[in-house]
Structure 1
Amino acid sequence: MKKRVLIITYYWPPSGGSGVQRWLKFAKYLPEAGWEPVIFTPENPDFDLKDVSLEKEISKDLEVMKFPIWEPYQLLDKIRGKKESHPGRVLEQKEHGFIEKAAIWLRANLMVPDPRVFWVKPSVKFLTELIEKGQFQAIITTGPPHSMHLIGRDLKRKTGVFWLADFRDPWSQWEFLDKLPMQNLVRDKHKKLEQEVLSEADVVTTISPTFQEDLKQLSTRKIDLLTNGFDPADMPDGFAIGEKKAGSLHLVYTGIIDSIRNPMPLLKAMKEEFLKEMGAVKFTFVGRVSDQVRREIAADSWLSAHVHFAGYVSHQEVFEFYAKADALALILTNTKNAKGNIPGKLFEYMATTLPVLALGDPAGDSAKILKESEAGEVFSHSDHVAIQVSLRKLYERSGKPEAATAIDQYSRRNLSIQLANLLDEDPLS
């Protein structure tokens, strides 16, 4: 008989993004490793991105429990008379009115650790009885939002259930918090809650070696590395990268471009390198792009002619753009968490066999993975010459790209086996 594990996650289809992919894929492959997953997620969440195609990946045998949540964003939308009051969108605005400033201050100082904190108490009350009845041998919480970890903490305290806390981003050291007008006492409260989670969870996992080391320093305990990965089953039938001819270059970027992901150094290097060239050069953004970047591109006639916006598409449709690309662009953050920034799409990029040109920390975790796999390079945002040299090489490259080496270690199936082994550490399981 399989052991049952309750996965408590805010992000679940039809939400889009890498946070969804991580636990959607673990739920898919955990049964093969001896654990039956059950999902606990909000019934009426306020998602920023949606991808209804991901719902097709949910197994008919997977139990998904949806529980009502109240979030303050809907109230703010009514007050503002606008939609999309998510903090990331509001913070990206150049100018804030009184209502926006007040909303940001309230989010920073009264909603700790985040606006989903109102879901903690009712969720704990609902789940406690189920756990006490022996329905689950383990629970998993994944954050951000880090309120999910407070649900795990309280369930652990009430029932003693085995608890794995998964950090997809840092908490007290998260760069997002630095953007908020947060009082020192509130910052201290974040640290206190973080310490409670780190000390009381039976297992703590995170996605990158840098975040792993940072959490070790904060907690003086073992932190397990559980990276994101790729699923070979996502590849459409017949998907293949064709022959490339020298003298052309089509770069494709998939994902979000926001206030901490700046593609302009790459685009400016592309313009300077190929300004006088007659050859075909093209850059395509697939996903949401910030208004600021769109304005900068629109103000430049050369970039306007060579940069294209495909908009947000489903995960399935992304592969159509991969198939038309000559290389893939990866825009990592240029902030204090940059070294540990390993976006989930990095592994899917590698699985396509296309070369990857990335902006970020050349000594960071993504750079090490790309180098070890011989799949691409990471350049500093300010290393203009090196970016141009790399673009020229990609432009002149011909033939089919070579597959990345040792990539199987990042398959979702193998990563799910690693997760199951961590759950099996419980002596009571």
Structure 2
Amino acid sequence: MEAGKHDRGRSGASIPGRFVAEAGLTVPRTVLIVSPYFPPSNLACVHRARHLANHLPAAGWTPIILCVDDRFYEQDPDPLLGSLVSPELEIVRVPALHARMTRRFGIGDLSLRAWSALSSRAADLLSARRIDAVLITGSPFYPMLMSRWIEPKFGVPVVLDFQDPWVSAWGADQKPLSKAGLSHQLALRLEGPALRKARFVTSVSTRQNEELAARHSWLDASRMAALPIGGDPGDLDLLRAMPDIRRSRLDPAMINLSYVGTALPRSHGLFRVLFKGLAEMRARQPGLAARLRLHFIGTSNQANDSETFSILPLAEAEGVADLVAEIPRRLAYAEALGLMARSHGLLLVGSDEAHYTASKIYPALLTKRPYLSLFHRLSSAHALLAAAGGGIHFSFTDANGLAGLPQDIAAGLERLALDPASLGQPRQDHLEPFSARAIAGSYAAIFDGLR
């Protein structure tokens, strides 16, 4: 493998942090953040590390990012998203095996392709630098296995951050001998060893932490925290940098309601109910329905996929496909943010799993557009949206509750289309605890407590 790249910012100096006294000297406290993907990647998993990299310095910690060089990503880069990263940030980039070679053997996971480089570079940094904590965030999850040797060998505590479940209900439903089923079996075997040596564990929801603790009874609940991805108001600066040509996705003559993000398999039941509600709305308001267009953008989560339609078949089954437009290809972050900001209203749809917390709700709330949401009642996303306001909120606890919602959703769609001003805007005091700055402060407090 070729040598990795080491970016030290424009001046070559690290970001200044808070200082602590040690042996009569002052040294900055530093955290190594291991995140295989990092901007200019536009995958959803980059935002945790991006937010922390930008906001930890104000909370007294100097971040170093350890990631894979973007030349080895399979997705096209998002330069505008990359522009939101501080130019002073220290980024250590390592090479990986090329996917075109490893996929012949059924391996595409970036962290596996870069396993050797990530592990050896982490060890080099821990040997040569004063590092006070290590945060490993996933997915991808395999780098979390580095926790087994980092503290025993270097005396540096490790925090593991689960942005999604490594062991998931969806994985358990897969055929045992399928690739997804085998990945699930591997996750079952590896999650425990990774957690054993971690000093602290975070995830995006309390429910996800409870599920981790149920699988591993030895986990100490006092060493766990639920910290959502959050949102950064500074991201709205991207809207001013976007080319105007991207405005053509929405027809200005229509009332455009937009869903932006992956359509997960366990979300399909919720989309069916949404379309049943749309069909009921058209039955009683055909004129309004003719002016309405529901957009579903980036549903495949693949940057180069323009053919995998998962939403249109659901709309066709309910007889409303003519009111629905789907673009499977995942948009660049800036374009997705701009599309939400220019929509008349937003559709925020979760999953039938209670732990599910959609990271996309935070940028959606930043745009201050009115919305209609549909989440499991125990989801932290539903609790946040209901408390913050600014939209119409639907929830359920089981299949029967979900099946009973179409009439209410029909009325909600009417209100969102005809009287969005009546919904007001989200209360900023409820959103501040979920800002990137506040979340970074929570992580800084965790790091402070590790010593």
TM range, normalised to the smaller chain?
A: 0.7 to 0.9
The farther-off stretch of 143-152 and 185-194 is 185-194
Which among 240, 243, 266 is matched to residue 274 of structure 2?
266
1:373–1:407 contact (8 Å) kept in structure 2 = yes
Secondary structure of the residue aligned to 2:131 is coil
Give the partner amino acid of 2:355: G
Give the partner amino acid of 2:29: K
Q: Paired residue for 2:191?
A: 194
Q: Paired residue for 2:233?
A: 232
Q: Paired residue for 1:139?
A: 134
Query: 2:424 matched to 1:402?
Result: yes
Mapped to 1, the partners of 2:379 and 2:388 lie a distance apart of 15
Secondary structure of the residue aligned to 2:377 is coil
Q: Paired residue for 1:7?
A: 33
Mapped to 1, the partners of 2:183 and 2:311 lie a distance apart of 33
Secondary structure of the residue aligned to 1:366 is helix
Query: 2:214 matched to 1:217?
Result: yes
Q: Paired residue for 1:123?
A: 118
Give the partner amino acid of 1:51: D
Secondary structure of the residue aligned to 1:360 is strand
Secondary structure of the residue aligned to 1:287 is strand
Q: Paired residue for 2:342?
A: 324
Greater RCO (CA < 8 Å, at least 6 residues apart): 1
Map 1:26-105 onto structure 2 (within 5 A): 26-43=52-69, 44-48=71-75, 50-70=77-97, 73-75=99-101
Mapped to 2, the partners of 1:391 and 1:185 lie a distance apart of 41
Alpha-carbon shift at residue 206 of structure 1 (Å)? 0.7
The farther-off stretch of 187-196 and 13-22 is 187-196
Which among 155, 160, 168 is matched to residue 160 of structure 1?
155
Q: Paired residue for 1:286?
A: 297
State, as a whole percentage, how many aligned pairs show the same letter: 22
Q: TM-score, normalised by structure 1?
A: 0.79
Q: TM-score, normalised by structure 2?
A: 0.76
Aligned-pair Cα RMSD in Å: 3.1
Q: Paired residue for 1:361?
A: 376
CA 1:14–1:364 in 2, change beyond 3 Å: closer, same or farther?
A: same
CA 1:208–1:182 in 2, change beyond 3 Å: closer, same or farther?
A: farther
Map 1:413-424 onto structure 2 (within 5 A): 413-424=437-448
CA offsets per residue over residues 262-281 of structure 1, 9 Å max, x none?
23432342133124521221
Mapped to 1, the partners of 2:151 and 2:44 lie a distance apart of 27
1:128–1:158 contact (8 Å) kept in structure 2 = no
CA 1:45–1:326 in 2, change beyond 3 Å: closer, same or farther?
A: same
Secondary structure of the residue aligned to 2:414 is helix
The farther-off stretch of 288-297 and 51-60 is 288-297
Which among 379, 382, 391 is matched to residue 395 of structure 2?
379
CA 1:319–1:186 in 2, change beyond 3 Å: closer, same or farther?
A: closer
Secondary structure of the residue aligned to 2:45 is helix
2:32–2:66 contact (8 Å) kept in structure 1 = yes
**Which segments of 5 or more consecutive residues in structure 1 lack a partner in the other structure?**
80-102, 240-247
Alpha-carbon shift at residue 423 of structure 1 (Å)? 0.7
- The count of residues paired between Structure 1 and Structure 2 equals 384
Alpha-carbon shift at residue 122 of structure 1 (Å)? 3.9
Mapped to 2, the partners of 1:190 and 1:302 lie a distance apart of 39
The farther-off stretch of 357-366 and 7-16 is 357-366
Mapped to 2, the partners of 1:301 and 1:187 lie a distance apart of 36
Q: Paired residue for 2:51?
A: 25
CA offsets per residue over residues 267-316 of structure 1, 9 Å max, x none?
34213312452122121223244423345557888523553649543322
Secondary structure of the residue aligned to 1:399 is helix
CA offsets per residue over residues 232-268 of structure 1, 9 Å max, x none?
11224999xxxxxxxx853111112243432343234
Alpha-carbon shift at residue 398 of structure 1 (Å)? 4.6
Secondary structure of the residue aligned to 1:224 is strand
The farther-off stretch of 2-11 and 367-376 is 367-376
The farther-off stretch of 322-331 and 229-238 is 229-238
Alpha-carbon shift at residue 207 of structure 1 (Å)? 0.5
Q: Paired residue for 2:244?
A: none
Give the partner amino acid of 1:378: F
CA offsets per residue over residues 313-358 of structure 1, 9 Å max, x none?
3322334323332321112123xxx211111111222233333322
Mapped to 1, the partners of 2:38 and 2:187 lie a distance apart of 25
1:251–1:328 contact (8 Å) kept in structure 2 = yes
Alpha-carbon shift at residue 373 of structure 1 (Å)? 1.7
1:340–1:366 contact (8 Å) kept in structure 2 = no
Give the partner amino acid of 1:266: L
Give the partner amino acid of 1:388: A
Mapped to 2, the partners of 1:319 and 1:292 lie a distance apart of 22
Alpha-carbon shift at residue 413 of structure 1 (Å)? 0.6
Give the partner amino acid of 2:293: K
2:38–2:67 contact (8 Å) kept in structure 1 = yes
Secondary structure of the residue aligned to 2:421 is coil
1:13–1:51 contact (8 Å) kept in structure 2 = yes
The farther-off stretch of 411-420 and 129-138 is 129-138
**Which segments of 5 or more consecutive residues in structure 2 lack a partner in the other structure?**
1-18, 20-27, 241-253, 301-307, 397-401
CA 1:288–1:49 in 2, change beyond 3 Å: closer, same or farther?
A: farther
Mapped to 2, the partners of 1:76 and 1:259 lie a distance apart of 27
Alpha-carbon shift at residue 185 of structure 1 (Å)? 9.6
